[in-house]
Structure 1
Amino acid sequence: MKTDPTYPLFPICAFLGFIISLVPISWHFQAWNAGTCLYMFWVSVACLVQFVDSVVWHGTLNNHAPIWCDIASKIIIGAGVAIPAASLCINRRLYIVTSVKTVSFTVEDRRRAVYIDLAIGAGIPVLVMILHTVVQGHRYDILEDVGCIPVIYNTIPAYPLVFMWPVVIGCVSFVYAGLTLRAFLQRRASINDVLSATTTLNVNRYFRLMLLAFIEMTCTVPLSAYSIYINTSGVTLAPWISWSDTHFDFGRIDKIPSVIWRSDHAFYVSVEMGRWIYPTCAFVFFGLFGFASEARKHYRMVWMFLAPRISLVRLNPRCVQFRIIGTMP
């Protein structure tokens, strides 16, 4: 049996991605940054799913948790759409902030913006998860060392219902990013004044969000298009006959040993790219926001809260005094 070359590196990275992608969520939540919060949520959930699967199904093909696989395979479908959708929310917000002449948002305006972001970043992924059922050929597959993966029957309706959503969302996000860049170049002299008028977005956070959005924008469309190509290349495009034909023997669960799926280079690349993308998104996000001034401030607050309670250090307002337990009064 061919050993897994990514173990234990991948589960470690996936678990770290699950943790670190949620680190900045409190201050983004306080700032009403719904798109950013959705991005963190979906990346974290996807990393958790990949972590559990890579550990539970390491070296085995046993159907340990059928209900978990039903849920996990749907989450994978949803996350593939949700992360580009969250990026679209970020790009859209940046465009609004950059292009308007005055930044004066009422509570009602912010609430409306949150509702729109939720419709895009949560509603569209849930819709695609539901639509996936139409072209779900059977329950799910189990790949050794990888875990549960969703099944998409390669038929014509699968493209508008499932495959094309990341590409379409990425293209819309690309347009928003281009408009944001143009508005920024036109108003770069007054951008500080514009941002200072809002309490939810400072200059540093604005540029970090812009960089995150541009990274997602440049990666989403080519990676999504390549994923469609590599997943359908060499697979016969079947005609849509009927619901019953597509879902014939729906309860079937195909189990594929690692030596088999890794021997197919195209499929191997597709699987590894599909699961490494989520820890990569988590680390990129943490690299942009995990060391910002807001992050350092919250780290200090957490440390000052925890330190006295674990009896390791004693803090005073001016300095940090270390005390070895039991040796000093």
Structure 2
Amino acid sequence: MVVLALYRISCGLSMILCLVPLNWHWRNGNIPAIALILWLVPYNLCTWVNSFIWPDDASLLAGWEGGIYCDIQVKILMAGYTGIITSILAIARNLANILSDDNPIVRTKAVKRRENMKDLVICLGIPIYMMAVHYVVQPRRYYLYTISGCGATVDKSWPSIIIIFIWPPITALVASYYAALVIYRLHKYRNRFTSILSSSTYANKSRFMRLFLLAVILLIVFLPASVYTFFLNISDEFLPYSWADIHGEGWLSIEKIPTGNVIKFDRWPPVGVGFLVFLLFGLGKDAVALYRDWINTIGIGRFLPDRLMARENLHARAFSIPGSTQDSTGSKGKAVDLTTTLSSNDDGDYPIWPASH
């Protein structure tokens, strides 16, 4: 029960902490990062809720079978895991394109709109496709596990490779290619890196490198896991595909699988991803500024020290008159665009292992 309590606390905290980076990425229109969080939070939420419905083997065997609730959830879980990987792919692709010779210096609205559409297709296309065609290779409604709850079922026949098994490793491999391309181009353009970023939507080195670090760390985890899982799933002998056998009388059956009160291990990595997202994007200057806005909005800010709320800087800016500053020689200097300066210095169950029939 200690492990269960730890999972509930860490999973719940992981979801809450993702809200700050989500807010920040939403303001900046970073579709791949938004998609990553929006795939991640529902995935964790499903298992978190399940841990209260089926907390032990006894409640699993004697309790609710999860009708309709699990029918919907298995589709979310199936798409969510692959959605995390496709979002990583979109992040790595965008970073590689920023350092590309073909990257336009001036990004018109049409160019931005086209790039946003590409991001949406990459982040949502394959996961939605998997949800839509899963029924073709779904031999029964779902499995029920202790604590972890609903689990998707996948038939052990050749169409399952094309429909389900192949996509996580393919997207992870493509994402790895783009990550390697970023490393190559970082070396190639190391002397022009800052000037290149000045014309991109990723305003500075910090923002760029945090996104790149996020993609690399997640690939280190998800690439070997997805490749290993793929070969594990195809290692057994496949059965001939039969629509009639898959969707026969037994399709409505729900198999309950006691786990000895153990959480399925594939439910832990998404929890860790939530903490990683927060560590990289929830502790920078941009996030701290957001916290201050929230504190001021609810009226607590006036009770906190000026230094904590950075009010001394705001007072200094209030008395800075454009065009009136002077250098040490007494000559007038140019007014500084504080907004630009600040923004440029921001730190700025289809689980991994789908069940076979």
Flag whether TM exceeds 0.5 (same fold): yes
2:269 corresponds, among 269, 274, 277, to 277
8 Å Cα contact 2:21-2:277 kept in structure 1:
no
One-letter amino acid of the counterpart of residue 218, structure 1: I
CA distance in 2, matches of 1:204, 1:90: 15
Tell me the SS of whatever aligns to 1:14: helix
Q: Which runs of 5+ in 2 are unaligned?
A: 310-357
Counterpart for residue 243 of structure 1: 243
Counterpart for residue 286 of structure 2: 294
8 Å Cα contact 1:304-1:315 kept in structure 2:
no
8 Å Cα contact 2:138-2:153 kept in structure 1:
yes
Counterpart for residue 10 of structure 2: 13
Alignment: residue pair count: 303
The alignment's TM-score, normalised by the length of structure 2, stands at: 0.79
Counterpart for residue 64 of structure 2: 63
Matched, 1:198 2:200: yes
CA distance in 2, matches of 1:305, 1:317: 16
What percentage of aligned pairs have identical amino acids?
30
The alignment's TM-score, normalised by the length of structure 1, stands at: 0.86
8 Å Cα contact 1:21-1:283 kept in structure 2:
yes
8 Å Cα contact 1:95-1:183 kept in structure 2:
yes
| Structure 1 residue 214, shift from structure 2 partner | 1.1
Counterpart for residue 157 of structure 1: 159
Tell me the SS of whatever aligns to 1:8: helix
Matched, 1:75 2:76: yes
Q: Relative to 1, partners in 2 of residues 1:164 and 1:5: Cα closer, same or farther, differing over 3 Å? A: farther
One-letter amino acid of the counterpart of residue 76, structure 2: I
| Structure 1 residue 220, shift from structure 2 partner | 2.0
One-letter amino acid of the counterpart of residue 110, structure 1: K
| Structure 1 residue 27, shift from structure 2 partner | 2.3
Tell me the SS of whatever aligns to 1:7: helix
Tell me the SS of whatever aligns to 2:144: strand
CA distance in 2, matches of 1:78, 1:160: 15
Counterpart for residue 26 of structure 1: 23
CA distance in 2, matches of 1:145, 1:318: 46
CA distance in 2, matches of 1:319, 1:52: 37
Q: Which runs of 5+ in 1 are unaligned?
A: 263-267, 321-329
Matched, 1:314 2:303: yes
Counterpart for residue 177 of structure 1: 179
| Structure 1 residue 54, shift from structure 2 partner | 1.4
Counterpart for residue 255 of structure 1: 256
* Segment drifting more, 60-69 vs 141-150: 60-69
| Structure 1 residue 124, shift from structure 2 partner | 1.3
8 Å Cα contact 1:195-1:201 kept in structure 2:
yes
8 Å Cα contact 1:32-1:110 kept in structure 2:
no
Q: Relative to 1, partners in 2 of residues 1:279 and 1:87: Cα closer, same or farther, differing over 3 Å? A: same
* Segment drifting more, 131-140 vs 16-25: 16-25
* Segment drifting more, 37-46 vs 52-61: 52-61
* Segment drifting more, 4-13 vs 52-61: 4-13
CA distance in 2, matches of 1:244, 1:77: 23
| Residues 113-146 of structure 1, C-alpha deviations (whole Å, 9 max, x = no match) | 1111111111210101112211111000111222
Q: Relative to 1, partners in 2 of residues 1:149 and 1:232: Cα closer, same or farther, differing over 3 Å? A: farther
| Structure 1 residue 226, shift from structure 2 partner | 2.3
1:143 corresponds, among 142, 145, 167, to 145
Counterpart for residue 347 of structure 2: none
| Structure 1 residue 47, shift from structure 2 partner | 1.0
Counterpart for residue 303 of structure 1: 295
One-letter amino acid of the counterpart of residue 54, structure 2: W
Matched, 1:103 2:127: no
CA distance in 2, matches of 1:178, 1:255: 43
8 Å Cα contact 2:70-2:142 kept in structure 1:
yes
